[in-house]
Structures are given as structure tokens and as C-alpha cells.
């Protein structure tokens, strides 16, 4: 193993400069292009399906639509095509290094394109298998990072995780997928270095794996650990630099916001760097083993690649042209990156303004949720709103309750639509909280309104459970009966409820609750504002909502770093279990420390 890694070190180091420039250029360009194509594909599919916005509620029907499936496959093919070009470029680099030759970034790009063209011409559609089979094991770090960072992928993974009750099955499938991918890890060097048909190369790749199973497994494991250490170390150093830069150039109030903004870009860079380093080292490792098994195919590299029919003068000219184009591309990418970061920074610096505070579930941190005591806590902590959840009993009495079942909060294993108000009124809502709240009643909506009059505005969330289709109109009547329309808003995840509210009383403000966000919100006309899970809120969404004349409320924000990020995004209201913390951050009190270690926690999300 020592000799293998020594050889790997040599072939990477020999053309390290060109390899580094090529990877930065290529990864950045393909990342931007892929991102644009994905966004365009989603927007196109949304439009064709008649959706103005992608939410958790319409996600399943959207993603399973034939058009969406076709576009997903098209994007997948595009990514595989980009991977094939990159792999061809890297093999070109390693072959040159193995023959003690220097190459330029332009040579690598040409080599990748040329080899990909030859492979597709000879193999028609079979090239898809050559790229797809080893991709999971070669791009493991990139896949993990992008799934955890890209919101749509993250949400898709969460939905899949929820859909499968036996989570071990998912982990087992992932393990089997990686093991299967490992079997074909030699297929790309075999195809590129022989130029033959993939059908003949698969047995050769499997033969190499069988003869070097132990070395391959250990080597890939070592490489993955090494990549994690390298990328993690670089990321930590970059975070420290960002924190120190923010402390030196920003005010105390703005330092945390700057760190959170810049760390977002570091996250993107981390994913790209992890994918690049892993692919380079993995391909270099399998190249070294392939070289040992078939030394003749490496020694004949000049007959297959790098301008075989051109003179030395023509080669120099082509290299100069490739160098100029590479430089232009790098400078363009650099300016674009700086522009985006400046825009993000300026947005963060201009929106540290007054933000409303809403106590989640009435004020569930210090009192039982959805109770009068919780509303009293929200009032005592000077909240602008208290958010309450409304459902109705079997006899159509509106009560405050979050879950469908009374089990968690009141100890009764019954759904709310199966019990009468008389039964609900006998329950103890303080049973699962501190003993001083024993005997706390589950209040009606009227109780909550009567307590809040003159003290507190209410964010009334109407819960949809499939048994309460007429609840929206009854909530409106209750509000009108108590003359409370000017002191409340009505929110719901069920857009039809908001439509019913607006038709019953257009003056009551409504908010559409979304667990994820994507698409155009211009046509969401029955919502005056959007109540969005904070992990899916960013500057672009807030800017679009504001351009439509609508506010953005973020939920449920309980961590100081997330509070500051929401402020920097420009949200209008923060829904939280800890209104005292949010108030301290907003007031920039001394308790919101922004020293070095505190800023490091913000950047690292700990």
C-alpha cells in the first residue's frame, strides 16, 4: 500500500498546478451551469403543471408528474456527462504524469472532451452506465454535502426518510449501492485508456477489482478519511479567517450577520472542494492499480490523446489559446462570485431593522402550550403576537390544540373530533408541564381572544385534520363576534382555508404556512404574508415576497445564530419558543455576545 500511495502522490504532484486550475475552473463552471439548468427545469415543470409555487403540500404530485420525472432524468444525464468529461481530463493528467510529461489546464479540458466524444461515439447510450456505475463511490462526499445543503434535495431526503418506517432499510440500501458501485470503480480508466466498447471493458474492470479487492477497499476507505480531514481542516481555517475578518471590518451588531452570510458561501465551496478532492484521489488511486495491471496501455498514451496530428508549433498555439480562455473563464467566475457575495453582504447590512416577535404556541417555553398561562407569558415578554393552534371538538366548539390527539398535552388518547367540549373541559392541560400549572384548562378560541384584548395580538393557525372542512368560516365568525379582526391574523397550511377566510371577511389578514419554498409567489393572492420554516428562508425569497407586497414570518427560530440569520435575510416577524432571546438579539444587548468563540459557533452551526 505504501508504494501505491507513493505512486499516487507522484502522479498528482507532477501536474498539480494544472490540475488545481482545471478543477477550480471546471467545478465552478459546471456548478453554475447545473444550478441554472435545475432552476430552469423546476420553473418550467411548475408552470406546465399549473403550480405557482412548490410547497410541501404539492411536492409529491409535482415530483411524480411525468414531466418532472423526465426533467430529473435529463438533469441526471447532464451531471453524468459533466462527470465523464472531468474523469477523462483527470485520466489525461495522470497518463501525462506517469510518462513524466507536463500538461496545461487547456490540455486537460481538451483531453476530457476528446475522450468523452470518442466514448459516446463508440458506445451510443452505454456511456451512461460507465459514468453512473462508479459515480456514488467516487462522489460520496459531494453527494452528502449537496443533499445537506441544497434545500430541494434536503427536503426530498427528509420525505423519503419519513416515508420508509424501517430506517435501517434505507441505510442498508445505501450501503449496498456503495458496495455495488465499488465493483465498477475501474471501468472509467479501462474505457478511457483503451478506447474500446464498454461491453468488453466491464469484464476487464471486474477482473482488476477481484485481483485487488483488499487493496481497493482499504485504499478507498483511506482516501475518504483523508478527504474528510483535508476538507474539514481547510474549512476550519477558512471559518477562522472569516470570523477574524468580520470582527475587524464589521460593527458588533453586524459581525454575526456577516459570518452567517459568508459561511453560507463556504458551505458551497466545501461541497465543491470535497467532490473535487475525492474524485482526483480516487481516480488517481485506481489509475495506479490499472497502470500496474496494464503498463502498456499507459506507455502508449500519446498515440491516443493530446493533439497527435499537430506539430509542436501548433500545439503551443493551441495551448496559448486554451490558456487565455481558461484565464477569461476564471476571471469571469471570480467577478461573479465577488458580485454575489457583495450583494448578500449589502442586503445583510441594510435590513437590521425592527422585526416583530411571535410566541410559538402561545408561549410554550415557560407555560403549557396553547393555554391562557402561555398567552400571559407572551404578554409579559412583550411579544407582538402569540401564535395559537385552533381545532374544533365533536360539537363544533373551537379550542386551542396543536396535535390531532389530546394524548401528548392532556393525557387522553382520543382525537379532538371524537370528543365533546364538555369532555375537553375536564382535562388537565398542565399535566405534562410543571406542577404549578396543574389544573390548567384547554381554552376555547373565545377564551384566548378575551384574554388578549387590549394586551396582545393573535396569530390564529387553523389546523386541517380532514374532519373540519367548515372550520375557517366558524373562526371568522368568532373573530367578528368579539370585534377582534384588527388584532389578529389567520394562518394555515391549507390554502383553501385562507381562500374561505378572505371570502368571508377580506379585511382579516391571512398567512400561508409553508414548510418549504420554491417557485413564483406572485399568484398566491389569498395570503397577505408567508409563514415559512426558517431553514428555507433566504434573502432571495424575502426580496421576492416584499416585491409582491407581502411579509415573511419565519418559524420556529430558537437559536441565536438562526435569529441573526433571519434578521439578515430581512424577515418581518420571527416565531419562537424563546421570545426573550429574540428580543435580546434585536435590542443588541450585552447578552448577545459576538466575540471570537461566539462567532465561531454561528459559522459552524453549533
Structural domain includes residue 492:
yes
Question: Are residue 367 and residue 332 in the same domain, yes or no?
Answer: no
Share of the chain above pLDDT 70, in %: 83
Query: Do 343 and 362 lie in a common domain?
Result: no
Distance of CA 250 to the CA centre of its chain: 28
pLDDT of residue 198: 84
C-alpha span between 317 and 311 (Å, rounded): 10
Q: Which residues contact 398 (CB under 8 A, 6 or more apart)?
A: 390, 391, 392, 444, 445, 446, 471, 474, 475, 478
Are 528 and 576 members of one domain?
yes
Put residue 142 in one of left, alpha, beta given phi > 0 → left and psi -120 to 50 → alpha. Answer: alpha
402 is catalytic: yes
Residue 486 lies in a domain: yes
In terms of residues, how long is the chain?
Answer: 606
pLDDT at 402 over 70: yes
> What's the rounded Cα separation, in Å, for the pair 520 and 153?
19
Per-residue pLDDT at 517 exceeds 60 = yes
3 found inside a domain: no
Domain CATH number, residue 526: 3.20.20.190
| pLDDT-derived band at 266, boundaries 50, 70, 90 | confident
In a domain, 4, yes or no: no
333 and 362 in a single domain? The answer is no
Look at residue 51 and tell me if it is in a domain. Answer: yes
Range of the domain at 383: 356-604
Closest CA to 131 of 57, 68, 77, 206: 77
pLDDT digits (tens, 9 = 90+) for 196-241: 788 888 898 899 999 999 999 999 999 989 988 988 888 889 889 8
Q: Picking from 87-101, 195-209, 252-266, which range would have the lowest pLDDT averaged per residue? A: 252-266
311 alpha-carbon distance from chain centroid? 49
**Residue where a domain stops, chosen among 330, 349, 368:** 349
Instruction: Give the model's pLDDT for residue 253.
Output: 56
Domain boundary among 328, 349, 370: 349
- How many structural domains comprise the chain? 2
Same domain, 290 and 406: no
- What proportions of the chain, in percent to the nearest 5, are helix, strand and coil? 65, 10, 25
For residue 299, pLDDT beyond 70: no
Average pLDDT over residues 175-194: 89
> Per-residue pLDDT tens for 19-51?
998 998 898 888 888 888 888 888 888 888 877
Q: What per-residue string of b and e applies to 262-285 under the rule 16 or more CB within 10 Å gives b?
A: bbbebebbbbbbbbbbbbbbbbbb
Contact 49, 67 (CB under 8 A): yes
**Environment class of 124 (CB within 10 Å of its CB; exposed 0-12, middle 13-18, buried 19+):** exposed
Q: How many C-beta atoms surround the C-beta of residue 41 within 10 A?
A: 18
Mean pLDDT of the chain: 83
Only one residue has cell 468563540, namely 597
Is the per-residue pLDDT at 376 higher than 80? yes
Higher pLDDT, 31 or 158: 31
Residue 532 lies in a domain: yes
Specify whether the backbone of 456 is left (phi greater than 0), alpha (psi in -120 to 50) or beta: beta
Q: At CB < 8 A and 24+ separation, what contacts does 374-380 make?
A: 375/448, 375/451, 375/452, 375/456, 376/451, 378/456, 378/579, 379/452, 379/455, 379/456
Does residue 393 sit within a domain? yes
CA distance linking residue 215 with residue 209, whole number of Å? 9
Regarding whether 526 and 584 lie in a shared domain, the answer is yes
- 487 as an active site residue: the answer is no
Name the β-bridge partners of 415: 405
Report the pLDDT value the prediction gives residue 339, as an integer from 0 to 100. 46
Residues 407-422: tens digit of each pLDDT: 999 999 999 999 999 9
Residue 591 has a pLDDT of: 47
Same domain as 362, residue 299: no
Give long-range contacts, CB 8 A cutoff, 24+ apart: 77-83.
77/128, 78/34, 78/37, 79/34, 80/128, 80/131, 80/132, 80/135, 81/116, 81/131, 82/30, 82/34, 83/131, 83/135, 83/139
* For range 538-545, the mean pLDDT: 87
Q: What is the pLDDT of residue 252?
A: 64
Give the pLDDT of residue 254. Answer: 62
Give the separation between CA 374 and CA 353, rounded to whole angstroms: 27
| Residue at 212 is within a domain | yes
Measured distance between the N- and C-terminal CA atoms of the chain, rounded to whole angstroms: 38
The catalytically annotated residue of 141, 167, 360, 546 is: 360
Which backbone phi and psi does 175 adopt, to 5 degrees? -65, -45
Which of the listed residues 349, 375, 402 is the one where a domain comes to its end? 349
The model's pLDDT over 476-504, given as tens digits with 9 standing for 90+, comes to 999 999 999 999 999 999 999 999 999 99
> What value does the mean pLDDT take over residues 311-333?
56
- Range among 34-48, 356-370, 440-454, 546-560 with highest mean pLDDT value: 440-454
Residue of 402, 487, 546, 553 marked catalytic: 402
**Least confident window among 37-46, 151-160, 444-453:** 151-160
Q: Give the per-residue pLDDT at 66.
A: 92
Q: Which of 195-204, 273-282, 536-545 has the lowest mean pLDDT?
A: 195-204
Is the same domain home to 403 and 281?
no
Closest C-alpha among 367, 428, 425 to residue 579: 367
Q: What are the pLDDT digits (tens) for 160-174?
A: 887 788 888 888 998
Cα–Cα distance for residue pair 46/64, rounded to 1 Å = 12
Cβ(528)–Cβ(507) under 8 Å?
no
Q: Exposure of 15 by Cβ count < 10 A (0-12 exposed, 13-18 middle, 19+ buried)?
A: buried
Residue 353: which pLDDT band, with cuts at 50, 70 and 90? Answer: very low
Residue 414 and residue 301 in one domain:
no
What's the confidence (pLDDT) of residue 340? 46
Range of weakest confidence among 61-75, 123-137, 244-258, 516-530: 244-258
pTM given for the model? 0.66
Q: Are residues 304 and 172 in the same domain?
A: yes
Q: Which of 208-212, 309-313, 392-396, 426-430 bottoms out in mean pLDDT, i.e. has the lowest? A: 309-313
Percent of the chain with pLDDT over 90: 38
pLDDT at 512: 94
| pLDDT range class, residue 345, cuts 50, 70, 90 | very low
pLDDT of residue 39: 80
Beta bridge partners of 573: 356, 553
Whether residue 230 sits in one domain with residue 182: yes
pLDDT of 301 higher than 80 = no
593 and 495 co-located in one domain: yes
**Once rounded to an integer, what is the mean pLDDT over residues 439-462?**
95
> Packing angle between helix 16-49 and helix 2-14, nearest 10 degrees?
80
Amino acid at each position: 500500500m505504501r508504494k501505491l500511495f507513493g505512486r499516487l502522490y507522484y502522479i498528482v504532484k507532477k501536474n498539480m498546478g494544472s490540475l488545481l486550475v482545471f478543477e477550480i475552473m471546471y467545478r465552478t463552471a459546471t456548478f453554475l451551469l447545473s444550478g441554472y439548468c435545475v432552476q430552469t427545469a423546476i420553473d418550467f415543470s411548475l408552470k406546465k403543471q399549473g403550480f405557482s409555487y412548490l410547497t410541501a403540500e404539492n411536492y409529491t404530485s409535482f415530483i411524480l408528474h411525468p414531466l418532472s420525472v423526465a426533467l430529473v432524468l435529463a438533469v441526471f444525464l447532464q451531471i453524468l456527462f459533466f462527470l465523464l468529461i472531468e474523469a477523462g481530463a483527470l485520466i489525461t493528467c495522470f497518463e501525462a504524469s506517469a510518462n513524466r510529461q507536463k500538461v496545461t489546464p487547456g490540455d486537460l479540458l481538451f483531453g476530457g472532451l476528446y475522450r468523452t466524444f470518442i466514448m459516446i461515439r463508440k458506445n451510443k447510450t452505454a456511456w451512461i452506465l460507465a459514468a453512473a456505475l462508479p459515480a456514488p463511490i467516487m462522489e460520496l462526499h459531494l453527494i452528502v454535502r449537496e443533499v445537506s445543503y441544497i434545500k430541494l434535495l434536503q427536503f426530498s431526503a427528509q420525505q423519503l426518510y419519513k416515508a420508509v418506517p424501517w430506517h435501517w432499510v434505507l441505510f442498508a440500501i445505501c450501503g449496498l449501492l456503495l458496495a455495488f458501485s465499488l465493483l465498477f470503480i475501474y471501468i472509467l480508466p479501462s474505457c478511457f485508456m483503451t478506447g474500446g466498447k464498454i461491453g468488453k471493458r466491464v469484464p476487464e474492470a471486474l477482473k482488476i477489482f477481484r485481483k485487488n479487492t483488499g487493496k481497493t477497499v482499504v485504499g478507498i476507505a483511506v482516501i475518504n478519511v483523508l478527504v474528510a480531514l483535508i476538507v474539514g481542516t481547510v474549512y476550519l481555517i477558512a471559518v477562522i479567517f472569516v470570523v477574524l475578518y468580520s470582527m475587524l471590518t464589521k460593527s458588533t451588531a453586524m459581525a454575526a450577520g456577516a459570518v452567517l452570510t459568508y459561511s453560507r458561501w463556504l458551505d458551497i465551496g466545501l461541497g465543491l472542494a470535497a467532490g473535487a478532492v475525492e474524485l482526483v484521489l480516487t481516480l488517481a488511486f485506481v489509475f495506479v492499480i490499472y497502470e500496474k495491471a496494464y503498463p502498456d496501455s499507459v506507455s502508449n498514451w500519446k498515440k491516443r490523446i493530446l493533439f497527435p496530428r499537430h506539430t509542436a508549433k501548433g500545439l503551443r498555439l493551441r495551448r496559448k489559446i486554451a490558456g487565455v480562455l481558461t484565464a477569461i473563464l476564471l476571471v469571469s467566475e471570480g467577478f461573479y462570485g465577488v458580485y454575489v457575495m457583495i450583494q448578500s453582504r449589502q442586503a445583510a447590512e441594510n435590513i437590521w431593522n425592527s422585526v416583530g416577535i411571535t410566541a410559538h404556541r402561545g408561549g410554550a417555553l415557560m407555560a403549557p402550550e396553547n393555554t391562557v398561562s402561555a398567552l400571559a407569558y407572551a404578554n409579559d415578554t412583550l411579544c407582538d403576537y402569540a401564535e395559537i393552534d385552533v381545532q374544533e371538538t365533536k360539537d363544533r366548539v373551537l379550542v386551542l390544540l396543536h396535535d390531532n390527539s389530546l394524548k401528548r398535552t392532556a393525557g387522553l388518547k382520543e382525537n379532538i373530533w371524537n370528543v365533546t367540549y364538555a369532555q375537553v373541559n375536564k382535562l388537565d392541560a398542565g399535566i405534562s408541564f410543571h406542577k404549578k400549572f396543574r389544573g390548567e384548562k384547554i381554552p376555547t378560541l373565545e377564551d384566548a381572544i378575551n384574554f388578549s384584548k387590549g394586551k396582545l395580538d393573535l396569530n390564529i393557525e387553523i389546523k386541517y385534520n380532514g374532519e373540519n372542512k367548515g372550520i375557517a368560516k366558524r373562526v371568522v365568525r368568532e373573530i367578528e363576534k368579539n370585534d377582534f379582526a384588527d388584532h389578529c391574523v389567520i394562518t394555515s397550511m391549507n390554502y383553501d382555508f385562507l381562500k374561505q377566510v378572505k371570502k368571508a371577511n377580506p379585511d382579516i389578514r391571512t398567512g400561508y404556512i409553508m414548510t418549504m419554498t420554491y417557485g413564483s409567489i406572485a399568484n398566491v393572492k389569498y395570503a397577505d404574508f408567508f409563514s415559512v420554516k426558517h431553514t428555507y428562508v433566504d434573502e432571495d425569497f424575502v426580496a421576492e415576497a416584499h416585491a409582491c407586497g407581502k411579509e415573511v414570518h419565519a418559524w420556529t427560530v430558537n437559536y441565536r445564530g438562526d435569529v441573526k440569520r433571519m434578521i439578515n435575510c430581512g424577515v418581518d416577524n420571527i416565531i419562537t419558543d424563546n421570545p426573550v432571546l429574540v428580543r435580546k438579539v434585536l435590542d443588541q444587548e450585552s447578552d448577545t455576545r459576538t466575540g471570537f468563540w461566539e462567532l465561531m459557533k454561528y459559522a459552524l452551526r453549533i
